[in-house]
Amino acid sequence: MLLGNLSSSVQTVLTRLLRAAPELAVVGNAASADELPTLARRLRPGVVVVTEDQLSGLERLQQQFPVPVLLYSARAPLPGMLREAARLGVYDYITPAPTAAAELIEWGRQLRRKLLAVRPRPLQMGPPKILVPRVRVMPLPPQGIVVIGGSTGGAPATEVLLRTLPVDFPWAVVVAVHLPVHFTDTLVERLRRASQLPVAAAGSGSRLEAGRVLVAPGGRNLLVQPVTGSPWLGWETEFTSEASLDVPSVDLLMQSAARLAGRNVVGVVLTGLGHDGTLGAQAIRRAGGTVIVQDEASSAVFAMPKSVIQAGLATEVQPLASMAAVLTRYVPTRSGGSASRSFSRPQAVTAQ
């Protein structure tokens, strides 16, 4: 464990408590935010404990040595700070140790539990048993959500789109294609083969992670919602009993994403029958997000994209082959480079 610029009294309390946990140890102290990345690369801690005035150094820390961070705060952080800190790798916080003996014991237990939850775990490398330390990297919460929706022709179109997304794509991706239940596994496997990103079927409580693709199962409607039972910013998927004409509903999924992430949502409407996705596109644009629509020439069935275009909700209309490149223009990079995002009011695009 690497400690930040904690007071000497706090460091003494932490060190004393950790003596009772032989699997935990303090490997060093970083007196400033600038020292965090340097010491972390050299000492390779499994967790870093910092104070609020070192939060400014966490972005560079996560770029140079991704590691879970525990925030030491004089009081429970405000929700706004929690949201920002979670994006920088802070997974939990601790408050000052109480003075009463009984409360101090419980405080120590909670601290140990939080540290053990993310400590490096040994790997067994075969006989003779050799223990190799491994740093466990906590996935950072995504800063935005991409919702891809389609129907007829949507599965192969999604393959094409995901194939060229970069491996370091920084937002979460959720896919809803109108398919029967028994086709879900097939679609997930097809997307896994096509994409550099990890792909999984979404379930109840599936966490949204940066650079991970979740696929809405056939036959059920899916929403994204805040992670329950945690003060930290995070999103997860959940099934809903809300009915819709098309299942899984692109509208319901996009609307839930827009409520959560606001302008940090990009909706992608691919080929398909009907007009599912139009109400979702409306919610995204009203929240300040972006809607990219497949053009007629590359669509197997143009009804879904055409409906969005005729409603004046398309930010851009693009051929399928160009959509991944366009999508990455609207999603900020991990390095903080500004993407050429357009969050203007909905612009009317003439349907072909």
Instruction: Judge whether 88 and 55 are in contact, CB under 8 Å.
Output: yes
pLDDT, tens digit, 9 for 90 and up, residues 295-331: 999 999 999 999 999 999 999 999 999 999 999 999 9
Question: Predicted confidence band at 84 (pLDDT cuts at 50, 70, 90)?
Answer: low
Question: Predicted confidence band at 62 (pLDDT cuts at 50, 70, 90)?
Answer: confident
Question: Predicted confidence band at 122 (pLDDT cuts at 50, 70, 90)?
Answer: very low
Instruction: Judge whether 297 and 322 are in contact, CB under 8 Å.
Output: no
Instruction: Judge whether 5 and 51 are in contact, CB under 8 Å.
Output: yes
Instruction: Judge whether 174 and 216 are in contact, CB under 8 Å.
Output: yes
| Crossing angle for the helix pair 278-286 and 250-261, to the nearest 10 degrees | 10
Can you tell me whether residue 48 is helix, strand or coil? strand
Q: How many CB atoms lie within 10 A of CB 93?
A: 21
Catalytic-residue membership of 276: yes
Residue 297 phi/psi, 5° resolution? Answer: -60, -35
User: Pick the catalytic residue: 92, 151, 195, 249?
Assistant: 151
Q: Does 160 have pLDDT greater than 70?
A: yes
Q: Does 251 have pLDDT greater than 50?
A: yes
Q: Which residue has the tokens 């809405």?
A: 216
Tell which residue, 299, 311, 322, 292, has the closest CA to residue 154. Answer: 299
Instruction: Judge whether 246 and 219 are in contact, CB under 8 Å.
Output: no
Res 293: pLDDT: 98
Tell which residue, 258, 259, 262, 174, has the closest CA to residue 221. Answer: 174
Alpha carbon distance 235, 224 (integer Å)? 6
Output the DSSP codes for 147-172: EEEESTTHHHHHHHHHHTS-TT--SE
**Kind plus residue range of the DSSP H or E element containing 13:** helix 8-18
The pTM assigned to this predicted structure is: 0.61
Catalytic-residue membership of 249: no
Token digits for 170? 């920084």
Instruction: Judge whether 328 and 197 are in contact, CB under 8 Å.
Output: no
User: Pick the catalytic residue: 92, 246, 276, 295?
Assistant: 276
Least confidently predicted of 18-22, 196-200, 305-309, 324-328: 18-22
The residue-averaged pLDDT of 155-179 equals 93
Instruction: Judge whether 94 and 72 are in contact, CB under 8 Å.
Output: yes
Separation in Å, CA 128 to CA 89, 122, 124: 36, 14, 9
Alpha carbon distance 118, 209 (integer Å)? 17
Half-sphere exposure of 247 (CA within 13 A, CB side): 15
Separation in Å, CA 344 to CA 24, 181, 203, 313, 314: 51, 38, 34, 11, 11
Cis check for the bond before 141: say yes or no (omega within 30 of 0). Answer: no
Q: Does 128 have pLDDT greater than 90?
A: no
Least confidently predicted of 52-66, 232-246, 315-329: 52-66
Alpha carbon distance 20, 99 (integer Å)? 19
* Kind of pairing between the strands at 123-124 and 90-94: unpaired
Catalytic-residue membership of 178: yes
Output the DSSP codes for 64-107: HS---EEEE-SSPPPHHHHHHHHHTTEEEEE-PPPSSHHHHHHH
Q: Does 264 have pLDDT greater than 60?
A: yes
Least confidently predicted of 86-90, 193-197, 221-225, 250-254: 86-90
Least confidently predicted of 141-145, 206-210, 230-234, 270-274: 230-234
pLDDT, tens digit, 9 for 90 and up, residues 340-352: 343 333 333 444 4
Least confidently predicted of 182-196, 239-253, 260-274: 182-196
Question: Predicted confidence band at 336 (pLDDT cuts at 50, 70, 90)?
Answer: very low
